[in-house]
A = this chain, B = another copy of it.
């Protein structure tokens, strides 16, 4: 592998001069620049990133730690999100490190990557109420950005779809179709987006003079099995719901399957909605009414936020609170109406 030294040797210049010539510093003679660049080209020179990074004291890498266990989550949702992150990172010349959490202790994964200086920042997703990752990274002043709201501070960057508003759209739509008895199948409510969405449903129903029967709120997991089981249980109630809001598309698929098995006609006997609009949502039969999240775009946005944060930290800039507030982005979602309602 050819190094600066090799080039310097060939063109009779010092390593320093070669380095600066390549960087295009103004204090190098045009002649030298030409000579050096030509030689570098001919010799097939490429800088050694490792060396550059060591000297810059920056890994030029951002990390994503994927939860290895939760299958439903590992699905297309995460994949799309990752693609967005990767695209934006690569646009900015930053590497993307993906780690798969093995340890019982989730934070140790973060700790390891940080202390080895292997990444300059993290992307989080699916933030929790009192999220230990947020607390940990924040206490270390280590840069990160999240897909999902961060509570209790206006200084941490995140992107989130406005889940409350979104659920308002869903409820309005369902009510306009004549539904009043509406059920919710939610992931754990410790996950912030789930809690937000639920309160969105409740708020809109209240506003429309309806109530969300506590019996019809089912808190479970993220996957279709859950949607399936909960729906079976819901339908066996003496006074079953006529509409089911799945808090993500996969849950909704499970709900549809369960209802179909009971011989119900989806979109007629029972309305089902999802959230995310993963590609499968339009393919499923019946096609799923859902909230579109431009997941890949969101991945890009979050990455931008993170990279901005990192740059500022490296430059020693501290933004005022107001500026940081602009890093908390709440997107207006869109309701996609299909056959399932």
Contacts and interface: CB of A to CB of B under 8 A. Distances in A.
Nearest to A56: B50
B285 A260 contact: yes
A133 interface: no
A117 B72 CA distance: 35
Contacts of A86: 66, 68, 98-100
B46 A54 contact: no
A114 to B, nearest CB: 9
B46 A115 contact: yes
A283 B95 contact: no
A90 to B, nearest CB: 6
A151 B90 CA distance: 32
A49 B120 CA distance: 13
B95 A97 contact: yes
A197 B313 CA distance: 53
Contacts of A117: 1, 48-50
B95 A96 contact: no
A87 B116 contact: no
Contact of A95 (B66, B82, B118): B118
A254 interface: yes
Contacts of A47: 116
Nearest to A61: B97
Interface stretch (A30-38, A73-81, A204-212, A237-245): A73-81
A116 B285 contact: no
Contact of A283 (B46, B66, B79, B253): B253
B80 A74 contact: yes
A50 B54 contact: yes
Interface in A89-147: 90-91, 95-100, 102, 115-118
A319 interface: no
A257 interface: yes
A50 B71 CA distance: 33
**Which residue, A50, A54, A66, A98, has most C-beta atoms of chain B within 10 A?**
A50
A293 interface: no
Contacts of A253: 280, 283
A51 interface: yes
A195 interface: no
A83 interface: yes
Contact of A48 (B49, B116, B254, B285): B116
A279 interface: yes
